[in-house]
Amino acid sequence: MTAAMYCGRGMLRTVVLERGLSGGELLNTEVIEDYPGFEHILGWELAQKFESHAKKFGAEFLQETVTCVRKLDDGSFEADTESGTVYRAPTVILTAGGTPIKLGIPGELKYAGKGVSYCAVCDGAFFKGDTIAVVGGGDAAVEEADFLTRYAERVYLIHRRDELRASKILQKRLFENPKITMIWDTVVEEIEGDAQGLVTNLKVRDVKTQEARDIAATGIFVFIGFRPNTGIVEGHVDHDEMGYMLTDFSMETSVKGLFAAGDVRAQLTRQVTTAAGDGTTAAIAAEKYLKALKDKVGVPMIVRTGGYAV
């Protein structure tokens, strides 16, 4: 949305293709406290402000699920969508974010939505007074464990190591919360449920002692990382070992004219501030790329096929 706002300010015709509501991971975060100028703001509220700001400068938001982005022989790009509409443009800024990584254990898929969740804000209210578990050791796991204590009576934070990766300020808040119990050096191996198909028990194992035990819990929230949604790009784009796209200082990928910003890009940290910064750089770089391209051959900004053009 930052990229769309800057593209609009640059007088570029800008279309944002979004598979759901605008905001991405902001919609899965209850409160934002680390975005400059907003000491405390709801995630969806900040997303709404971003979208409104981009629209003010002419960005058009369309609810479309992109299935493929490809570069054509003439140097332009096509974006296929589930609706059948194909969008064509001389440049693309990919800000597709990531998908939660699953544990891959028995019971996870069976009880998805019935006690297994990847979004505390979405599902936390269903566990009032319950005992639940959170799996992970990064910022997301620690932050969501703390958030879930407003609903649950007891929250177990299960981590496979003996120390957390989360920021110190989040760890301090976690350790001071009397409703949270840490379970170190432990992995969840199976999720069990009752005849009604609801989660009732977790089978876990200590990775140091190999001791196995059960944890009675009605819910498990998994926050062990994300995979970048880079698979929609057809053809090879340089990336790191985790699949995050490699870019230069202008956010351009190894594919000329394809820019990447936010969580799809390899970088040290993934925050709202860094995503917004990436979007700013990518938009300004895309504008310069288009100007150079237009000076050479003259190109339209966006063409929409499937019956009509805009």
Grouping H, G, I as helix, E, B as strand and the rest as coil, residue 50 is helix
93 Cβ contact list (under 8 Å, min separation 6): 3, 7, 251, 259, 260, 261, 279, 282, 283, 286
Q: Which of 80, 123, 139, 146 is catalytic?
A: 123
Domains and CATH numbers, the chain: 2-97+228-305 (3.50.50.60), 102-222 (3.50.50.60)
Please give the pLDDT value at position 122.
74
Determine the Cα–Cα distance for residues 201 and 111; give it in Å rounded to an integer.
Answer: 11
For residue 94, the tally of other CB atoms under 10 A from its CB is 27
Q: What is the block-wise mean pLDDT of the chain (310 residues), using blocks of 10 residues? A: 96 93 81 88 94 96 95 95 95 92 95 89 88 95 95 97 94 97 98 93 97 97 91 94 94 97 90 94 96 74 42
Q: How far is CA 1 from the centre of its chain?
A: 14
* The pLDDT of residue 300: 56
Q: Given this model, what pLDDT does residue 302 score?
A: 53
Active site residue 7: no
| Model confidence, pTM | 0.73
- Annotated active-site residue 123? The verdict is yes
Q: Out of 119, 130, 185, 206, which one is annotated catalytic? A: 119
DSSP bridge pairs for 219: 132
Q: Which of 34, 68, 74, 122 is catalytic?
A: 122
119 assigned to active site: yes
The pLDDT score that the predictor gives to residue 227 is 87
